[in-house]
Structures are given as structure tokens and as C-alpha cells.
Chain A
Amino acid sequence: MFWSVFLPVLLIFKTCLHMNSRYFGKIARSGLMVVLLTCVLSSLQARVWTSKDGKKLDAAFVTLDGDKVELRLNNGKTVKVPLDRLVKADAEAARRFNGVGDNSATKASARQIDGLLAKNLKKAGIKGFNEALPDDLFVRRVYLDIIGRIPTREEFMKFAENSRPDKREGLIDELLTHPGYSSHMFNYFADMFRLRGKIGEGGGKRAEPYINWWQDQLENNTPYNEIVNNMITATGNLGHNPASGFLLRDAGMEFDAFANFSQVFLGIDISCAQCHDHPFADWTQMDFYRMAAFFGNTQRIAGRGMMGGMMAKNGGNRTKELVAFAKKNGVPTDNPQRAYNFYRYLDFLGWDVEDRENLETQLPHDFRGSGGKPGAVVKPRTLLGGAAKKGGKTRREALADWMTSPDNPRFAMVIANRMWDRAFGKPLIGPVTDFEKDSVCGQPQVLAFVTSEMKRVNYDLREFMRILYNTRAYQGLASAEEPASTKAYLFAGPVLRRMKPEQAWDSLMLLASGPKIDEVKGRDGSFLMSVLNVDFENESIEDIFAKYQAWDTNFRRLGDVVVSEPGELQGSTPSVPKMGRIEMIRASEMAQPAPAASLLDTFGQSDRLVTDEHSVDGSVPQVLALMNGGVTERLTGGSSKVVQDLEVLDAPDDKVRGIFFTMLSRYPSADEMKLGMKMMEDFGDDGVSDLAWALMNSPEFLFVQ
């Protein structure tokens, strides 16, 4: 059988590892780059694959052939492994790898962006792009930008010792298919779409199915236009279609939700026009309500209490039947307090999105704009001309079609501009939620080009990011001067950025627990989904009641989240590693958002109330946490984690280099080396942990250069 090839391969692999670790020392000592002949990776997507019965295989991904993955072993032979023999994470990895193919079109596109940028730079008298990134800064940058955390010392070394000329594009591809890619991308969209675990009035509902849905879209690299289409048109409750979470998120605040909708999808802040004609832009109050009217016959939380929504079909008879059945089975339905869980379940079941033809958007009672009177019914019309065609579709379907149609000049531009901002630390035109024709834009041709590229790649965000990461502009040093706010920035390179709150947190978690943090999954809403997925028209009352019973029994473990008391969910899966009460997992897997006064909050994580509202500012409490906090103590205190990790290195100068690789992913300068050596001489291991502490508390640690 195939697995019999494991033994020899494993032996080779082990030898390589052993050699590597010794070899690393030599390389580090001499400071020279030496090619590793025996263990050079045949492809950059080489990795260790694990079978369900725990066997391991070091091999490179070749292709996906139906339900089998083709792998190339180190000896050059290829083998085919059925996907279902691999552990879930590896099967998923194979599917992801398959998504990244040939990069010639990518590189052509990147060159075109560079050409357009360079032309305008030249015109402005700037001689060219910023100096190219040295390897060490490159590796740190792409790890942080693509998978949201700093590289480990080993990952850093692996790249430093790779001598292939195409190693940069190879690393970009490897990282784009790494699980950290979707985790980091999730943080971006969680901010943009204000994802919260607790939603609904008073936070009484759980949104894990919706949050998981988002995570799945990013793991599967679903095209962005499809994601948006699904969110706009979703009907049902979170069990029927978790994408309904998008509209349920703002139930009860429909017009605010529309103002947000316009900001995130069209880059137009029209919120002023909710109450009066926009004072600075052309939008009128009437425009606002006409566009909002696309959601005019959409009803959210139809099922509040026991009435309305899908549960009211058949005149609410099914609800009555269920209540009667529950009563017969011992639920004290005539006492809402004692039957709290039962009614909470009913309430959650009916918490859904539906279209109802008899609903219309009406102008508010204090409408002061022209074109209508308070209370008048408004018919839907798009903001940017080009009517949405109905043709038998619901209003929301028509809107979703229009959003992504060529008639809409903004949709692709907004997401392209946002993704550009992610890579370069500054949008081509800003702010991303509100820009106009006359907004400052130094590179209008680039804006037009990346907009057309977004369409060309069919809203494949991974491919789009791959283009940007392959540009020479991106691969230059961050500009040394902060761009002036009044002048257009021409993108000779990215700008210096402080790590996003989640990047800072995930990097600290990496230092504390190693790369296994990339594999740990957090909250799972699948149980919640299964009990909410009720066919209220056709399912038998017995079956529905059984789902309630499952809910009731598992009430304390809803969505794998421990429930401490009714209405309050705390903690997470028991398997999640913890330090005290802190979960040592990636930000994307934690409660959304992390609790107030947690380290993530201190670093400026958005509270997800309004779009893109994270902060990258410092504060005294933040630096106090880095100086004296629990994570720092674990890394550099008594039994310092960082010192322990350096035990594999013997020579003092290797240790000093090792600390720099671990903390800053770069080589120490001669002065820094001297300082480090002195610390080791004077204080031994204490000196090493002091050095680690100092690097963590030098502002450089928190920045993406």
C-alpha cells in the first residue's frame, strides 16, 4: 500500500531536519547564505501531510485530480492519495493549493500596475520606487500581511536559506494557501461587516453560524461578488441560511443598516441624507429612501415572540401545535419564566429574514426633502442611475444583480481600493467608505486598472492580492516619510503601518505557543445551525420538538460555547489552550469581538459597532501590557518561553541571532550583536530574556516596515 513509502521518506526527512539544525548554526555563525542541496524543497508548497491514522509524509503538492491529491516526494516520485485518507486540515490544504495555479497572468498584471505607477512617479519628479526590501524585511512583511502574524524563527531561516530565484513569489503563493490567510482575511471582513458573536436585542442571540459562514467563504475563496450576493438575498433564519446574519445583524435599525450598506459596497457615506439632503454631496434625502426601498419589503425578525414570519404561515397553527405538544411533554408553557428556554428557542427559530409583498418603505414623519411627502410610499431606485431590472425577481435579488453589474461603476472599485489599502496601508482614493470624483487620487489610472482587474479575476480576492503582492511597488521599503494628508500619495512603496490589533495579538500568540495556533479552531456554530434548521411547514411536530430538546439539553454548550447562565455565553471549547483565563488562540477564533479590557481591546480591536473602527494608535495601557503583562511574563519572565526555544542553539552568537530572528525576523546589526553578546556574557540566560523583552518593547516590534 501507498503508506509503505512512509518509512524511508520519514527517515530522509528526519536526517534533513537534523542536518538543518546543525547547519543553521553554521550559516548563522558565518552569516553566509549556503544552498541546501539535499533538502531543497522541490516546490514551495512542500509540507508534512498527515493521514487520518496519524502517519506523516513530507511531500510537495502537485495537483488535485478529482478526489485524489498528487504529491511529489523528496526523491522525485509522485504518488496519489485519496483526499479522505488525509486529516481534514490537509484535505482542505490540498483544495486550497489547487486554487493557486500558474502565475504568468498574475505577474503580467503586476508589471502593468508597476508601469502605471512608475509613469506618474516620474512625472512628479520622483526617481522610482522605494529601495527593494531585503529578504529579511520581505519575509516579515509577507507573513504579517498575508497570514496575519510574524514568521517563526524556523520559517524565517527556511526562507533565508532558500536560494531559488523565484523564492519570493513562491513564498507569496505558499502563504496565500496557508490557513492563516483566511484567518487574517476574516479579521478584515469582521471589521468591515461588524461581525459580533452576540447580536439581536441586548445581545441575546448568537451569530456563530453567520461567523462560521464568513470563515468558510474565505477558506474556500468564494468570489467576493458571490459572498455579497448571498448576503443581500439570504432568507430564512441562521439555521436555514447563515448568510441571513448580514441582514439580521441590524434588525431594528433598517435605515442605519442601509447607510452602512452604501458605505461598504458603494463607498458612499449617505448617512446625512437619512435626515436631510446631504450638505456637501449631491445626495438628496429622497435618494436615500429610494435606494433603501430595495429592502422595503424585507422583514427581519419576523418571528419575534411566537407570531409572524415563517411561523405564522398557516395562521400560526404550527406554533400552537408545537406549544401544545411541548405542554404535553412536560414543558410548563403557561409560565414564560419557567419555560424560558422553550420560548427562547421559539424566538430564535422565528428570527429570520423574509420578503413580504405587502410591506413598503415609507418616508419618515419628519421628511423634509423634495419629491415626496412624509408617510408617502417610496419605490426603489438605485443611487447611480441604471435601474435595477426586476424581471420576476425579488427586490433584493434585483439589487444584488445591479450591485455587481457593469452598470454599477463603484462595486468593483470599492473592493479593489480596499484590498489595495490592505496591501499598501493607504487606499488609492479615500476614505474607502466615502470618496467622490473629486477626491484626492494620485494614481487614477491605477485605480481604473485595478478595478478592471478585480472584474477580470472574477472577484477572486486571493488572486487579486497575489497580483498586488507581486508588484515591485509592494516589495519596496515602506516610505520613510509619513505622506502628507493634503497631498496625493503616489505609492513609491507601502507606508509604515502599526500592526493591526489582531496581527499584534496573533504574533504574541505565535511567540507563546508556536505555529500550532494556526490550526486551532474556535467557536463552532454547527450545533446551533442544526437545531434552528426547522422546516416549519413540513416537518413533524415530534421532530421539531426533538430539536428543541437537543437545544435544551445542550443549552450549556451552544455552538461549542459554554453557557454559564441563561442568556450569557462565556468561555469556549474546553480543548482551547488557555493561560489563566486568556484563550491562547488566534483572534479570528476568539469571541467576536474579544472582551472589553482584553489585550486585543487594548491594542485597538474594533468593537464592531461601526465599519472599520479599529485603532492602530498606541496608549499608555497598551505599552504597560507589553512591559508587565501576562503574555510578556510568559515569554521573558522566570521560565522564559523565548529562552527555552533557543536551547537548540549552543553558541552565544547563535542565540543572539536567534532572538533577533524570533522577535524581529531580521539579522542584528554589528552594534546590536555586540550588545547582545555582552548581555549574555554578563547575565547568561537572563541576558537573553532581557534582550527578548527589549526587542518586544522597542517600537519596531509593533510595526510593519
Chain B
Amino acid sequence: MNDIFNLAGKNQLGRRTFIERAAQLSLGVGVSGMLPTVVNAKAEKAGTGKAKSLIYIYLSGGMTHLDTFDPKDNSTVMGPSEAISTNVDGMRLGNHFTGLAKHADKLAVINSMTSTNGAHEVAQYMNRTGYSKRATIVHPTLGPFAEELLGKRGKILPDSVVVGQSTSNAGYLDPSRSPLPIADPTGGVPNSIIQTDEDRFERRMEMAQGLGKKFIDKYKYASAQSYVEYYKQANKLLKSDELDAFDISQEANAEKYGSGRLGQGCLLAKRLVENGVRVVEVVAGGWDMHIGIENAMQSRMPELDKALTALIEELDAKGLLESTLIAVNTDFGRTPTINMNTGRDHYPVAYSTLLAGGGTVGGQTYGSTDKMGKKVKSNPVEPADFIATIGYAMGIDLDEIIYSPTRRPFTFANKGKPVMKLVG
């Protein structure tokens, strides 16, 4: 695909033209099944490349680090929480993580995350793209960027899916790289249920094609022609078994994941990864615990524990954990001081994230904070470094430059440094 970008000189091709050119080559979600699948021409892959798929769990609101992955001995700091031991000597977790405690050997916990973004919007933008939010450009999220660099993988299924109530787009990349949004994990692909009986549907489709033919023959525009392909693909999708990839009602162990959006989202992510989808982002809220953190934790923590435990166990049992990277990220941490409303406020100075599977080295805690969880004491990791680590595990060349249509140069993770100790 690089040739398109090289052609996209600002005096030769505008954005519109650029999109049109791109549309001729890659017709968007699903349509590339009609075309030869683009595979990265590079013989040597960068990074470990062990992670063939990524499940990116994004906890919006800001996950408290002290009550989850960075518990302390100081009871003033801990408030209602305490630490429990795990199946790895010396590795401790918050007391709600009883399931994960049995799999600590598979977890790479980072307790030295640090950033300067204390507001939700800018923090989420940074943590989902690796770039600061700007008013002049929109950066792609990890799925579209990985597809751009590694090539389109799926024939009918999209390469990236976003599960949950969340915006996501391909930014300055071709819109055909946009992740497929699934707002409700139990609802399947939106509008994928035919509203009439099959005969009538066939009749309608046939008629639409017949009636549209004159128009399509008359105008030789990529934009018009591409709709013919989209209809063919949509029709094919409606009748294909591939839609089953989105149907979690067929899962035997659904209840293991928990019935909430997060649990069901993780279940869908697992199912999609099994079906070859490269990147699934699961976005779940409820982590902005300004008020009554004890109550809030009692619902959110077991939910997260259950979902992650089930995900790890199922992927492991199917032999997919080695090739599937699970990453947990969040806006920022929360204040070590419990406020007057028994909650914790925003705290970007120090917080925690998690990696598991996909060739990451489990059973370790990377980096640390001081006794109060206030400051990073060793091995600070910034959001771009965390994303670079994910890219490295996925075999992405972190130096490869992609140009926006306005010819601004960008790289995956914005020159963040991968943490080698985590990815082996």
C-alpha cells in the first residue's frame, strides 16, 4: 500500500483523490476478499511477532492502581482494599482478583506507568493511539495501524473490531481500515438480520442489481462501482457462516466470563480471535470512581477478574494464548489519598497496566512505585512505550514511516520504546 502514500503528494493528489485511489485497491470491510490479500512484503518481521492477535481491553474512567495491580502494605493508602498472594512468589494483587491470582505466572504487570494526561478525553486518545490529541489530525487506533503495516488478513471478516460504546476510526488512514463497531456484544453485526423471508429477499436483491445497472454502466467512478462490491459482499456475509464469529450465543462457557458488557465483550473478542480477527478492542466504562470506591470496586473488580480469568483459561486451553496478546489499559490511575467522598480522583503520575499471552513473559511485575503508590520509583513506562511493546510483540516495524495524505510522517506508537523485559 505504500505506493499510494508516495503518490499522495499534496500538489498531485488531494485527500478526496487519495481516498478514491485507495478505494480502488482496498474496498473496505470485507471487500478485500475480492482482491488478493495484501501481505507485508518484508521478509524479516520486526519484533517478536509472536502475538498474531491482540485483545485490547480498555477500562475507561481510570482504573485504580492501588486496589488492583499495585497493592501496598499501608492501610491508609489501601482504604478498604488489601493485598493477596498469588501462584508466583512475591507477586501480589488486590483482594478482588482471586481468579487472576491463580494465573499470575501468565501475567506481566506494569506498575510504573506514568503520563501527564489527567483528563479523560486526552488520556483515552493517547492510550488508544499513542499520540497526543490534536486539532489538525486524527490518528488511527491500533487495529487500523496494524492492518496498514502488516497487511489485510481477513477475507470476509474485518481485521479489527471495536466492542462497546465507543468511537473508533482509521484516522488519516484509508476509511476502509476502520474497525467494525459492535456496540452490543450480544447483538452480533448490526443490521445482519434479513427482514423478509429468503425468497423475497432474493427477489429484492436481484431487482436492485437490475435497476442499478444502467446507472453503474453510465458512470465510471470508483465510488459508484465500489457500492456494487459492497452489496455483493454484504449479501455474501449475510449468508455466510462467517457471521457466526459474532454470535456468542453459541459459546459453551459464556457464564464463566460474567454477564456484563465487559465479560461478554471479552467472550466475543475470544471468539473473533479464534476466527482470525487480528485486533479486537473491548471498551468498558465504570472506572471513574470519585465517590464510594468500595462499592464501585465490588461490582467492577470481580467483573474484570472473571472476564480476564476466563479469557486466559479458554485461550490457554485452546493453545491460543501464545499467539494472542491480552493488554489491559486505562486512562490513568487514581489518587493514593481517599477523598472526602470515600472515592479516589484522577492520577496520571503513577498507574498500572497489564499484558498476558502473545509471547509476553508472565509471572513478573515490571517497574514499581513508592510505598504510597504516589511516584514511580523504577523503570517508568509512558503510554507510547506501552503501545510500542504491543507493536513489538505483534511483529510491527516501529520505525516504518506512514505518511498522512497531507504528507506528515507517522510511526506506530510515535517512537515509544518497547519494554524488552516484558516481551522476551
Binding site for B on A (CB under 8 A): 194, 201-203, 250, 253, 256-257, 259-260, 263, 269, 271-272, 279-280, 335, 337, 430-431, 434, 436, 438-440, 478, 480-482, 485-486, 495-496, 498, 596-597, 604, 607, 609-610, 613, 615-625, 627-629, 632-633, 637, 669, 672, 675, 679, 686, 690-691, 693-695, 697-700, 702-703, 705
Contact = CB atoms under 8 A, between A and B. Distances in A.
23 contacts: A253-B135, A260-B136, A269-B10, A271-B137, A279-B407, A482-B221, A596-B181, A597-B165, A610-B135, A610-B138, A615-B175, A618-B226, A620-B28, A621-B180, A621-B190, A624-B191, A624-B192, A627-B194, A629-B191, A669-B214, A690-B200, A697-B204, A697-B212
Given A675-B207, A694-B210, 15 more contacts: A201-B119, A280-B10, A430-B16, A431-B15, A436-B11, A480-B218, A597-B165, A617-B23, A618-B227, A619-B230, A620-B237, A625-B191, A628-B192, A695-B211, A699-B227
Residue among A260, A271, A628 with the most chain B CB within 10 A? A628
B318 interface: no
Nearest to A259: B136
Contacts of B218: 480
A705 B16 CA distance: 18
Contact of A672 (B13, B30, B211, B339): B211
Given A201-B121, A695-B211, A256 B204 contact: no
Contact of B195 (A498, A633, A698): A633
Contacts of B30: 620
B221 A496 contact: yes
A619 B11 contact: no
A431 B215 contact: no
Contacts of B407: 279-280
Interface string B139-164: 00000000000000000000000000
Contacts of A615: 19, 175
A698 B211 contact: yes
B290 A623 contact: no
Contacts of A260: 135-136
A271 B404 CA distance: 13
A613 B135 contact: no
A633 B195 CA distance: 7
Nearest to A337: B341
Given A259-B136, A621-B180, A694 B208 contact: yes
A80 B5 CA distance: 63
Nearest to A633: B195
B233 interface: yes
Contacts of B194: 627-628
A496 B208 contact: no
Contacts of A624: 189-192, 234, 237-238
Contacts of B29: 619-621
A619 B211 CA distance: 20
A629 B191 CA distance: 5
B223 A498 contact: yes
Given A610-B136, A620-B28, A482 B222 contact: yes
Interface string B355-376: 0000000000000000000000
B228 interface: yes
A263 B209 CA distance: 42
A40 to B, nearest CB: 34
A209 to B, nearest CB: 21
Contact of A617 (B13, B209, B226): B226
A256 B19 contact: no
The 7 residue pairs across chains A and B that have the minimum distance between CB atoms: A698-B212, A256-B135, A485-B17, A694-B207, A431-B14, A699-B227, A700-B215
Contacts of B11: 436, 438-440
A480 B169 CA distance: 32
A202 B191 CA distance: 31
Contacts of A695: 208, 211
Contacts of B190: 597, 621, 624-625, 629
A661 to B, nearest CB: 15
B212 A485 contact: no
